[in-house]
Amino acid sequence: MSRQEPQQLPVTRLTGIGSQSAARLQKLGIQTLQDLLFHLPQRYQDRTRTYPIASLTPGMTALVCGRVEYIDTPQRGRNSVICRISDASGLLSLRFFHFSIQQIQQLRPGTQLSCFGEIRMGFNGLEMVHPEYRTLHAGDEPTETGLTPVYPLTEGLTQSTLRKAIKQALELCLSNTDTLTDWLPAAVRQQYGYPDLAEALLTLHSPPPTLSAERLAQGELPALKRLAFEEFLAHHLALLLGKQHYKTWQAPVFIGDISTKTRFLAELPFQLTGAQQRVISEIEADCSTPHPMLRLVQGDVGSGKTLVAAIAALSALSSGFQVALMAPTELLAEQHFRNFKRWFAHTDTQVLYLSGQIKGKVRSTTLEALADGSAGLVIGTHALFQDSVNFQNLGLVIIDEQHRFGVQQRLALRAKGQNADRVPHQLVMTATPIPRTLAMLQYSDLDISVIDELPPGRKPVTTSVIPSERRAEVIARIDHWVAQKRQVYWVCTLIDESEQLQCEAAENTAVYLQQALPGVHIGLVHGRMKASDKDAVMQAFKQGDCDLLVATTVIEVGVDVPNAGLMIIENPERLGLSQLHQLRGRVGRGSLASYCLLLYQSPLSETGKQRLGILRESNDGFVIAEKDLELRGPGEVIGNRQTGQIQFKIADLSRDRELLDRVQTAAQLICRQHPETIKPLVQRWTGGSLQDLDELFHTVYSP
Ligand code: ADP
Ligand code: MG
């Protein structure tokens, strides 16, 4: 590929695109001719038919044909020209604010015009402001064949500049000699009835006369589907490539000391479940090779992921390597810290804690202990991966509740290790909010283990859906529950409002509940409290000094207090189902029956009822995630929680969802039979720099 392919040429090669337009195009992510070709119309103008004036309504954009009746030249005090045209059915005003003398002369009464523009209601009936117009002579066709594309713009860029540029780009890149390469194997195209790349792009940029605007707007054309499919495929391949690349790096080998592990397990008050054991052996197998593990452990809330992480950590530590465990919230990180300190108490491992709130002397001694290797295990928030944090011998990185971090963060973390001659193993854990169909765009860079079994003796949580009018009943139930020495969570949700409002709501609720329940010890925890205060409240709750914990959604992940078996969630209709399932996972952790009351604000919409109904019927995180996907669509499910979500150019997770099922098969075929197409596909769609990709590709596919 010594010669630059036409599609890689900069847009400035086109007539009419100077440095100024190029800068504007850059704002739309367009630098090359290829980028330009993948900038698809957002809709099409239909000039294939004319509308009788009588059929026009405000808001329509239409082509109209008529005879100029009169023109109202500008007078003092008025700054617009009005021209009235008529057809057999009625009269329409054309209004111009900018005009030239020639223009006025051209619009003489009797002239036939075709005008295109948006109809609005003016002072004297319907009008078109600044229509595009043409004068017609005898025999002229008012209509055009084909639909006119309307492209997404950015400030300073006009439709006509963009249309002209794209037209040139099509000619340059799709001519017979220099064709934009179609990287999708013919077998895949044929299987799904997709057109080739050139045809697909031509269809979408300059639709043939046989296509209607309606058909194009439906988003179901094979031309469009093909591009969306290719885009999904490219993202999937990018993750696979990243994984294969990472696997070529060197990683420490954990030799695993059996006696340490046996002693550790003997100290536990319970036995590992079969699923935990299986996942642990998968992790051990990964870490006994000199290449890095990239493993995702999926397991429903309460399935015991933390312990799996602890045993993986033990294996690293007993092999002489450091371990970092990252949790998404301070609350969860603190809880892990406490658990790990207890679990590792009879080993010689020093366990440390680090978050953004740890400052001053404590922070500097912590950083020193990590840098000189005297601390084996550190637990914390994302503050763990700031530049100032250095490890002596990091062998394993554990990320808990991965769904809170997103793909980009995970990849960024991985990149951080890549300057060393050895990189740490990676273990990420999640409670599966992402349904299987979407996993390939989220997790294809990871090997997956599933903990598909809960510890024995767990009773499913009984969930009820209750309108807030019955609050008094709910409060009576709390009273009764606390009298039996059991504990309660009350969760306040205000997800769309500011964190401050959410915290205030929790504060108010705590005051209100204290009045209603004078004999009950109430604690309050929310995101705006100091870490040490939060921690004190959580400890009091854990030790049973506090009966009722009023909280915001900060307790969503990880918090583990088995004696708390009743949870009230206020305004559950505001949250996603997977998030509710996570919250509910705080109860049902002991061996006694547990309950979750969803206290909704009535009236509740039909979908709202359906959604809460799903939660009442199921305790299975997989089922709930799938149903949530059906009801809300994938964009919401991923978008709601993923900060580093993938930005698609053309594909739309809701519209093109059915394509996801095809992606994996096609990717397999490509990896087996056409590996040379992986790099250009990934480059085309993910915009990765060619150099990075070259390097990635080289390490993976060179012998
Ligand atoms: P999650 O998978 O949601 O992170 P946790 O790791 O917090 O779950 O575990 C939930 C609870 O189950 C904890 O109290 C933990 O100590 C307990 N647990 C973990 N493994 C077992 C087991 N094999 N038998 C009994 N209890 C267990
Ligand atoms: Mg957990």
How many helices and strands (H and E) does the chain possess?
Answer: 25, 21
Angle between helices 634-641 and 621-632 (to 10 degrees): 110
Residue 697 has pLDDT above 80, yes or no: no
Q: Which of 39, 44, 80, 46 is nearest to 64 (CA)?
A: 46
Q: How far apart are CA 438 and CA 235, in angstroms?
A: 12
Element (H, E) at 296: strand 294-299
Instruction: Give the per-residue pLDDT at 556.
Output: 67
Residue 51 has pLDDT above 80, yes or no: yes
Letter for the amino acid at 362?
A: V
Residue 286: which pLDDT band, with cuts at 50, 70 and 90? Answer: very high
Q: Which pair of structure tokens corresponds to residue 242?
A: 């990243």
Residue 102 has pLDDT above 50, yes or no: yes
Ligand 1 proximity of 72 Cβ (cutoff 6 Å): no
User: CA dist 82 to 62, 66, 124, 136, 619, Å?
Assistant: 19, 15, 11, 19, 67
Instruction: Give the per-residue pLDDT at 570.
Output: 93
| Rg over CA atoms, the chain | 32
Q: How far apart are CA 657 and CA 668, in angstroms?
A: 19
Whether residue 398 contacts residue 428, with contact meaning beta carbons closer than 8 Å, is answered with: yes
**Pocket mutation for ligand 1, best pick of 270, 379, 454, 620 (most atoms within 8 Å of C-beta):** 270
Whether residue 194 contacts residue 200, with contact meaning beta carbons closer than 8 Å, is answered with: yes
The pairing of strands 61-72 and 112-122 is antiparallel
Residue 143: which pLDDT band, with cuts at 50, 70 and 90? Answer: confident
Q: How many angstroms is it from 308 CA to the middle of ligand 1?
A: 9
Mean pLDDT of the chain: 86
Ligand 1 proximity of 305 Cβ (cutoff 6 Å): yes
Nearest CA to ligand 1 atom 19: 304
User: Which DSSP state fits 483?
Assistant: H
Q: How far apart are CA 665 and CA 185, in angstroms?
A: 13
Q: Which pair of structure tokens corresponds to residue 279?
A: 């996942």
Q: Which ligand is nearest to the CA of 273?
A: 1
User: Which DSSP state fits 577?
Assistant: H
CA within 13 Å, CB half, 578: 29
Q: Kindly report the backbone phi and psi dihedral angles of residue 32, in degrees, each rounded to the nearest multiple of 5, phi listed first.
A: -110, 170
Whether residue 36 contacts residue 180, with contact meaning beta carbons closer than 8 Å, is answered with: no
Nearest CA to ligand 1 atom 17: 304
Model pTM score: 0.72
Please give the domain boundaries of the chain with CATH numbers for all domains. 49-143 (2.40.50.140), 181-248+658-703 (no CATH), 258-451 (3.40.50.300), 462-618 (3.40.50.300)
Q: Which of 143, 116, 148 is nearest to 132 (CA)?
A: 116
Q: Kindly report the backbone phi and psi dihedral angles of residue 502, in degrees, each rounded to the nearest multiple of 5, phi listed first.
A: -60, -45
Out of 39-48, 107-116, 429-438, pick the least confident. Answer: 429-438
Nearest CA to ligand 1 atom 5: 304
Residue 502: which pLDDT band, with cuts at 50, 70 and 90? Answer: confident
Instruction: Give the per-residue pLDDT at 590.
Output: 77
Q: How many angstroms is it from 265 CA to the middle of ligand 1?
A: 14
Q: Which ligand is nearest to the CA of 307?
A: 1
The pairing of strands 377-380 and 125-129 is unpaired
Residue 23 has pLDDT above 80, yes or no: yes
Nearest CA to ligand 1 atom 26: 455
Whether residue 97 contacts residue 127, with contact meaning beta carbons closer than 8 Å, is answered with: no
**Pocket mutation for ligand 1, best pick of 300, 560, 584, 591 (most atoms within 8 Å of C-beta):** 560
Q: How far apart are CA 302 and CA 400, in angstroms?
A: 13
Ligand 1 proximity of 304 Cβ (cutoff 6 Å): yes
Please tell me whether residue 353 adopts helix, strand or coil conformation.
Answer: strand
Q: Which ligand is nearest to the CA of 300?
A: 1
Helical H segments across 193-221, by residue range: 197-205, 213-217
User: Which DSSP state fits 460?
Assistant: P
DSSP β-bridge partners for residue 491: 551, 569
Query: Which ligand 1 atom sits nearest the alpha carbon of residue 457?
Result: 25
Q: How many angstroms is it from 677 CA to the middle of ligand 1?
A: 45
Ligand 1 proximity of 588 Cβ (cutoff 6 Å): no
**Pocket mutation for ligand 1, best pick of 267, 268, 296, 307 (most atoms within 8 Å of C-beta):** 307
Nearest CA to ligand 1 atom 1: 302
